[in-house]
Amino acid sequence: MIWGLATVLRSPLFDISEQRLFTLCHDRPKGPLWAHLRQFAKTHAWAEKAYATLREWRTHLDVDRPYEFFAFILYAHKGLQKMHARLGPEIDDVIGEFMTMALAHERQDQSSLIGFLTKMRASPAEVKRELSDVKDNIRVMTVHGAKGLEAPIVICLDATQVPDSRNYSSPVFLDVPAELPHQSFLAWNIGGATNLPEAAAMLKEKRAEKEFDEYRRKLYVALTRAEDELYFTGVEKKPSKSGPASWYDMAKGALNDHSDEREEGTIYPKGSVTHVPATPTPIAHLRSTMPKEISTPVAPPVKRDIIEPSKGEESLSAAIAPTDGPVGLPPKLAMARGNALHALLQYLPDYAEDEREALAKIALPLILPEAPELHDEIIEKALNILGADTLSFLFADNSRAEVAIAADMEIDGAPARITGRIDRLVISEDEILIVDFKSDQNVPDTAAQISPKYKHQLAQYAKALAPNFPDHTLKTAILWTQNARLMSV
């Protein structure tokens, strides 16, 4: 827990400096770091802010599904923006794959956040990018990673480093004589060179030669990566009379007769003080010749509010009331009931019709353990909807469940980011149907009687999808689960 919390605080999500983290962790009383952070927050503003944010996140742990929880951190709390600032746009590939895995986990039987984190810890998943497609960017990689790639300018860092063959203490197999085909021998160094027997010393020397051959092979790879310019850099050391030559030494030796050595400048260590003589520079005339744009203040960055239509927000200033649930149920239980029905409608279509009821009876005690008296009713509603001929097209192969969306647009004249999840998306050749499930007890008779907040929610979904489907007609509808009725909006 200590390392986990400290890592989060040091990450781009909080960007707590190493000095502040040291002040928090060093010489603290025994106990969890979380408890100490709570006490520390009473006297330090930065700790108070971090503690308040973490407490808010913890309130979402038990109610949010994995995708919702991490989307809340990445978008509502600008986590993605903070990661961009430190790690650059390359983080998009990793975050995109991570969120895809979170969404895929929600389609499994156990879609809890704890289950997802456990699965991620045990997963060997890697995100691989085709670096040859990256243009106009600085790429930092190992020599092995650079195989097959080229760049106009290549800089080899630490080119003065050479393999250290002073201590090969790991055990290795010796060559087995032909007359002893079924025996093998191990040798290892237990100290300095003076302790080595002759056979082990020869083995160590052979390993050092093999290591240096590999070192020179990597130099060849590095030499063939540059299209125009190749730089060798490093910290200058005292030349070794007996040790192997570094990349820098080999390159310098090969170019000595053809080189032009010049001193372009001096690199000073960070924090050093350099005395430079003051030289008066005539700048008075520059003010009249400077372009107007130089003195024009830069516009502040555009602030985008996060809008989640499914949670209800008709405008940037007007909040929408929660979904009306079944009469007689507490709001929290009504929401849990609706989520359970949503889950059955999401997963059961993937199974044969004669298997659905049995699977639902297994799933509901896990999804809604606090209300077993509602299980039969929920299963009946789910099976009625899935078995209705008039609704079968909603669950056909050209449909998708729980489609996550995010789009930038203007709402009430202000920039905003729309995030949400479409319950069912049906894609045909020239038409897109956006369907939202509603579990209201009181179902309207006509579309005109539908709550404005529901209409607004679907309108925002359609507006967010429109740029991605320019050749399709977008339509919206509500599936009332109370009476299995589909109503166009």
Rounded distance between C-alpha atoms, residue 227 and residue 223, angstroms: 10
Give me the pLDDT at residue 181, please.
56
CA distance 9 to 128: 27
Taking the C-alpha atoms of residue 251 and residue 258, their distance in angstroms, rounded to an integer, is 11
With residues binned 3-state (H G I as helix, E B as strand, rest as coil), the percentages for the chain, rounded to 5, are 45, 15, 40
> What band does 214 get if pLDDT is binned at 50, 70 and 90?
confident
Quick: pLDDT tens for 389-436.
Answer: 999 999 998 888 888 887 777 777 777 777 788 899 999 888 999 999
- What are 26-84's pLDDT values in tens digits? 888 888 888 889 999 999 999 999 999 999 998 887 778 888 889 889 988 889 889 88
d(CA 232, CA 247): 8
Residue 230: other Cβ atoms inside 10 A: 16
Distance, CA of 260 to CA of 86 (rounded, Å): 38
Q: Residues with Cβ < 8 Å from 240, sequence gap 6 or more?
A: 162
Across 29-43, 98-112, 176-190, 200-214, least confident range: 176-190
Identify the CA nearest to 8 among candidates 24, 31, 27: 24
pLDDT by residue (tens digit) across 328-383? 678 888 888 888 998 899 889 988 888 999 999 998 988 888 889 999 999 999 99
pLDDT, residue 130, reads: 54
Residues 6+ apart with CB under 8 A from 422: 402, 403, 405, 434, 435, 436, 461
449: confidence class by pLDDT, cuts 50, 70, 90: very high
| Range of weakest confidence among 20-34, 203-217, 466-480 | 203-217
Amino acid identity of residue 117, one-letter, is L
Contact status, residue 403 vs residue 421, Cβ threshold 8 Å: yes
- The interaxial angle of helices 18-25 and 45-61, nearest 10 deg, is 80
Q: How far apart are the first and last CA of the chain?
A: 49
Torsional sign, CA 61, 65, 71, 76: negative
Q: Where are the domains of the chain?
A: 2-119, 136-252, 305-488
Confidence of residue 121 (pLDDT cuts 50, 70, 90): confident
Q: Is 246 exposed, middle or buried (0-12, 13-18, 19+ CB in 10 A)?
A: buried
Quickly list DSSP for 429-477.
SSEEEEEEEE--SS--SSGGGS-HHHHHHHHHHHHHHGGG-TTSEEEEE
Pick the CATH number of 2-119 from 1.10.486, 1.10.3470, 1.10.1750, 2.40.160: 1.10.486
Eight-state DSSP code of residue 14: T
Please write down the long-range contacts of 140-146, taking CB distance under 8 Å and 24 or more positions apart: 143/218, 143/221, 143/222, 144/218, 144/221, 146/221, 146/222, 146/225
The architecture in CATH of the region 305-488 reads Alpha-Beta Complex (3.90)
Handedness of CA 29, 35, 39, 45 (dihedral sign): positive
